[in-house]
Amino acid sequence: MLQGIDHLVIVVQDLDRAARDYEELGFTVVPGGKHPVGSHNALVAFADGSYLEIIAFYREATDHRWWNPLQQNERLVDYCMQTDDLPGDTNRLREVGVAIKDPVPLSRTRPDGYELKWIVSLTTGSHRGVAPLLIQDVTPRQERIPQNFKHNNGTAGIRKLTIATGELSAVERWCAAVLGQTGTAIVDNNLDAQGWRYTTGPHELEFLLPREAHSPLINWMRMFGASPYAATLYGDFTSFEVLESRLTHGANLTLGK
C-alpha cells in the first residue's frame, strides 16, 4: 500500500542557481550528488519525511525521464510515493490500466562518496506525472534524505499536491487499488475545477479537472499535459504566501497553514 509522498521533482536548468534561489526563499538546501544517468540534484528535506528534489543535468541525457520536459520549461514535473510493497503496488496499478514499468535499480553518489541505492517503478505515457512513480530503498532511507529539517521560512512538510488531469475515472480506479479508499469530492473555485481529494500518510493528493475554458488548468495541460500543477507546504506561517515563480524556477509553491 502507498504510504505518502516520498518527494516532489522540480526540474531546472542550472542546479547551483536554483539552490541559491531556494535558499533565498528560506529553505535549507543540501547538495544531493550525481546520478550515473546524467543528472544531479539538491534536496530540501522536511520533518514530515518528504522532500523537494531540485534536479538538473550535468551532461546531455536525451533518454532521461525529465530531459524533454525541461526543454519545455522549468517546473514541478513529477512526484514519487513511498510503498511498503513495490512489486505488489506496481502490479495493482498495472491491473487497473496504469502504464508502469517493472521495478529497476537506480543509484546516486552523494558528495561525500556514499553510494545510495533504491528500486523504482516508473509510470509512462499519459500516466506519467498523474499516477506516481514508486520507490523502495535498498540503502537506508535516512541516508538518501538529508536530516536537515529546519528551514528559516518555517516549512515543516507538504500539505497537498494538486494534479491537473483531463479524466477522473482512471484516477478513481488506481487510487482505489493502491490507496484503498474512495476520494472526497471537491470543488476549487480559484482554479474553476472539480475533482477528488485523497489522504495518504500525512499528505493530500488533489486531482482536478477544469470545468470551464478559462480555468488555469486548461493552459497548463495544453503546454505540459496532465501533470502536477502545484504544491502547498505547511509549517509555522502567519499567512498564506505564494512563492515567487522566478525563485521557485516555475514550480507553483504556496506556504499555507
Which tens digit of pLDDT belongs to each residue from 146-201? 999 999 999 999 999 999 999 999 999 999 999 999 999 999 999 999 999 999 99
Check whether 1 has a pLDDT greater than 90.
no
Q: Is residue 150 part of a domain?
A: no
Check whether 238 has a pLDDT greater than 90.
no
Q: Provide the terminal-to-terminal Cα distance of the chain, rounded to the nearest Å.
A: 28
Residue 163 belongs to domain spanning: 155-256
Q: Are 5 and 161 in contact (CB under 8 A)?
A: yes
Predicted local distance difference test score (pLDDT) of residue 239: 80
Question: What span, in angstroms and rounded, lies between the C-alpha atoms of 60 and 39?
Answer: 9
Residues 223 and 114 in one domain: no
pTM to 2 decimal places: 0.97
- Of 144, 168, 190, the residue that ends a domain is 144
Check whether 217 has a pLDDT greater than 90.
yes
Element (H, E) at 70: helix 67-72
Residues 89 and 34 in one domain: yes
Q: Is residue 91 part of a domain?
A: yes
- Of 121, 144, 167, the residue that ends a domain is 144
Residues 169 and 230 in one domain: yes
Q: Is residue 20 part of a domain?
A: yes
Element (H, E) at 170: helix 169-178
> Per-residue pLDDT averaged across 68-87, rounded?
96
Q: Is residue 92 part of a domain?
A: yes
Count, in order, helices (H) and strands (E) of the chain. Answer: 7, 15
Q: What are phi and psi of 80, to 5 degrees?
A: -125, 140
- Of 89, 122, 144, the residue that ends a domain is 144
Q: Is residue 184 part of a domain?
A: yes
Q: Give the position of cell 484516477.
A: 171
Check whether 255 has a pLDDT greater than 90.
yes
Q: Is residue 118 part of a domain?
A: yes
Residues 204 and 111 in one domain: no
Predicted local distance difference test score (pLDDT) of residue 118: 98
Q: Is residue 130 part of a domain?
A: yes
Question: What span, in angstroms and rounded, lies between the C-alpha atoms of 131 and 79?
Answer: 8
Residues 207 and 86 in one domain: no
Predicted local distance difference test score (pLDDT) of residue 82: 95
Predicted local distance difference test score (pLDDT) of residue 56: 98
Average pLDDT, rounded, for the chain: 96
Question: CATH no. for residue 163?
Answer: 3.10.180.10
Residues 171 and 78 in one domain: no
DSSP code at position 249: T
Per-residue confidence band for 13, with pLDDT thresholds at 50, 70 and 90: very high
| Chain center to CA of 112 | 26
Check whether 257 has a pLDDT greater than 80.
no
> Per-residue pLDDT averaged across 90-101, rounded?
96
Q: How many structural domains is the chain composed of? A: 2
Residues 167 and 127 in one domain: no
